[in-house]
């Protein structure tokens, strides 16, 4: 992309809401998309549409952007809430302040116009300095436990724990994990020790194919550049991604699937 005057020179915080992608016709034609490909397309189109609708002069002074795909934003009808089950997965793209989880879930609750979520799943990023430990998990799990105590969340789950770490979390936690997601790309067969332990503790083992790094900083920067300019895309970092799905209980049909993402820009890193 040729160098032009930046559209969003002062923006340092960006939240993108895909709205209900079940209604995105273009995504229906791509059933085999990876999670990263699906998320990237949602973010790219949502941000592009949002920026096209904004006054270009006013954008020069904006420091935060909240970008909903207005065509697909939906609140859940109050009269059918009892027939619906919401599962939300919170992807940490880097280590964050634990309270960030509460703020992010509040955004999702407001978007759906609901008071509670049935299940929240927690996914950690890869650690550069070693493997995930119980000490890493504890501060975030305490925040989730508080959400359960406040009846904002009903059940908790986590992703990609082996038997040893799952046992440590279960023994330590006041509110026990009820789900452990396992990525079968990293292990073709469910480990026997994990299967036996989960059965003993009544923990569901569910498979998934989400990468640890669901959206890299470089992919984020490419998305922003495609909607604005190369200069606008510099020094952006992913913070977190929420993906929530709303299931019609008795029919097993996904009524809603949506992404909410949060990213930030560090101007100190600019040349």
| pLDDT at residue 184 greater than cutoff 80 | no
Residue 28 tokens, joined: 């229906």
Pairing of strands 204-208, 84-92: unpaired
Say which residue, 194 or 127, is predicted with more confidence. 194
3-class DSSP assignment, residue 120: strand
Tell how far CA 92 is from the center of its chain: 7
Average pLDDT, the chain: 92
Domain range summary for the chain, segments of one domain joined by +: 13-269
Task: Please classify residue 18 by burial: count the beta carbons closer than 10 Å to its beta carbon, then call 0-12 exposed, 13-18 middle and 19+ buried.
Answer: buried
pLDDT tens per residue, range 30-89: 667 899 999 999 999 999 999 999 999 999 999 999 999 999 999 999 999 999 999 999
Q: Determine the pLDDT at residue 268.
A: 75
| pLDDT at residue 210 greater than cutoff 80 | yes
| pLDDT at residue 179 greater than cutoff 60 | yes
Q: Which residues pair with 106 in a beta bridge?
A: none
d(CA 212, CA 99): 21
Q: Determine the pLDDT at residue 2.
A: 47
pTM > 0.75: yes
Pairing of strands 84-92, 236-248: antiparallel
- Average pLDDT, integer, range 176-205: 90
- Average pLDDT, integer, range 85-109: 97
pLDDT tens per residue, range 217-259: 999 999 999 999 999 999 999 999 999 999 999 888 999 999 9
| pLDDT at residue 114 greater than cutoff 60 | yes
Beta strands in 49-199 (DSSP E): 64-68, 84-92, 117-123, 153-159, 179-183
């Amino acid at each position: 992309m040729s160098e032009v005057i930046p559209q969003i020179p002062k923006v340092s915080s960006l939240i993108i809401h895909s709205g209900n992608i079940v209604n995105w016709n273009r995504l229906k034609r791509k059933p085999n998309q990876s999670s990263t490909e699906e998320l990237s397309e949602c973010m790219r189109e949502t941000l592009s549409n949002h920026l096209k609708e904004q006054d270009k002069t006013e954008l020069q002074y904006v420091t935060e952007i909240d970008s909903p795909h207005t065509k697909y934003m939906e609140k859940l009808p109050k009269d059918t809430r009892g027939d619906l089950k919401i599962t939300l997965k919170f992807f940490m793209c880097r280590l964050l302040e634990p309270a960030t989880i509460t703020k992010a879930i509040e955004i999702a609750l407001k978007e759906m116009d609901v008071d509670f979520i049935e299940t929240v799943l927690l996914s950690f990023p890869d650690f550069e300095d070693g493997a995930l430990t119980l000490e890493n998990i504890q501060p975030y799990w305490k925040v989730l436990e508080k959400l359960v105590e406040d009846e904002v969340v009903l059940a908790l789950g986590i992703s990609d724990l082996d038997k040893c770490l799952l046992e440590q979390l279960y023994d330590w936690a006041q509110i026990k994990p009820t789900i452990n997601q396992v990525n079968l790309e990293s292990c073709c067969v469910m480990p026997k020790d994990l299967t036996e332990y989960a059965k003993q503790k009544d923990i569901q083992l569910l498979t998934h194919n989400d990468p640890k790094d669901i959206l890299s900083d470089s992919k984020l920067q490419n998305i922003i550049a495609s909607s604005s300019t190369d200069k606008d895309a510099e020094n952006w970092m992913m913070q977190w991604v929420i993906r929530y799905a709303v299931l019609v209980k008795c029919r097993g049909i996904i009524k809603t699937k949506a992404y909410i993402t949060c990213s930030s820009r560090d101007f100190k890193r600019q040349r």
